[in-house]
């Protein structure tokens, strides 16, 4: 049986592959890092499963013309991992610049990512994306529900048209 050090090295490389692909906006390689039964969660999209996760990254990579990603602090063991990443891009609906700071957590199964959670301050993001309206409403459950409904509609439309 391989040691924990073996799996740690493999999982480190898996996350590096994932984020390097993200830097290149290579959604296909990103998708190859996921288990078919993957679950993803973040404040903007809520819970996504399976093919929805890969479709989300494809949509974001395709639409993110000025998307820039930096990542650091990858830490893994045989079963779980964490990473820090930051995204800079223009929010298309308002033309405002976004600098989102994200801490990610992962669970691995069969050499792939089975669970991926991105954690970021939605109130901070909303303030950058929408100005005073985002500062006022961005920290509310109402705003989170509305945003998740909007992102769900956009993803469903993307998946239908691709």
pLDDT at 6 over 90: no
Percent of residues, the chain, with pLDDT higher than 70? 94
- Sorted by where each starts, the structural domains of the chain and their CATH numbers stand as 4-122 (3.10.450.50)
Average pLDDT over residues 25-30: 96
Percent of residues, the chain, with pLDDT higher than 90? 80
Whether 127 contacts 135, CB under 8 Å:
yes
pLDDT at 2 over 50: no
Q: What is the pLDDT of residue 4?
A: 47
pTM: 0.91
Whether 67 contacts 87, CB under 8 Å:
yes
pLDDT at 153 over 50: yes
Average pLDDT, the chain: 92
Which backbone phi and psi does 33 adopt, to 5 degrees? Answer: -85, -10
Q: What is the pLDDT of residue 138?
A: 87
User: What pLDDT, in 10s, does the model give residues 45-98?
Assistant: 999 999 999 999 999 999 888 999 999 999 999 899 999 999 999 988 888 999
B/e letters for 56-91, b = 16+ CB within 10 Å, e = fewer, are: bbbbbbeebeebebebeebebeeeebebebebebee
Q: Contacts for 56-62 with beta carbons within 8 Å, 24 or more apart?
A: 56/155, 57/22, 57/27, 57/30, 57/31, 58/27, 58/28, 58/31, 58/158, 58/162, 59/154, 59/155, 59/158, 60/27, 61/22, 61/25, 61/26, 61/27, 61/30, 62/25, 62/27
């Amino acid at each position: 049986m391989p040691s924990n050090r073996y799996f740690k090295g493999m999982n480190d490389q898996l996350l590096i592959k994932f984020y390097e692909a993200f830097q290149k906006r290579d959604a296909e390689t990103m998708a190859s890092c996921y288990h078919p039964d993957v679950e993803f969660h973040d404040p903007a999209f809520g819970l996504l499963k399976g093919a929805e996760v890969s479709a989300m990254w494809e949509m974001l990579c395709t639409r993110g013309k000025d998307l820039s990603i930096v990542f650091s602090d990858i830490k893994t063991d045989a079963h779980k991992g964490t990473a820090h990443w930051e995204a800079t891009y223009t929010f298309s609906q308002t033309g405002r610049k976004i600098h989102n700071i994200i801490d990610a957590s992962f669970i691995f199964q069969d050499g792939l990512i089975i669970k991926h959670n991105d954690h970021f301050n939605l109130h901070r993001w909303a303030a950058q994306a929408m100005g005073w309206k985002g500062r006022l409403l961005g920290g509310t459950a109402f705003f989170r529900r509305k945003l998740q409904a909007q992102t769900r509609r956009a993803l469903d439309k993307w998946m239908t048209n691709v």
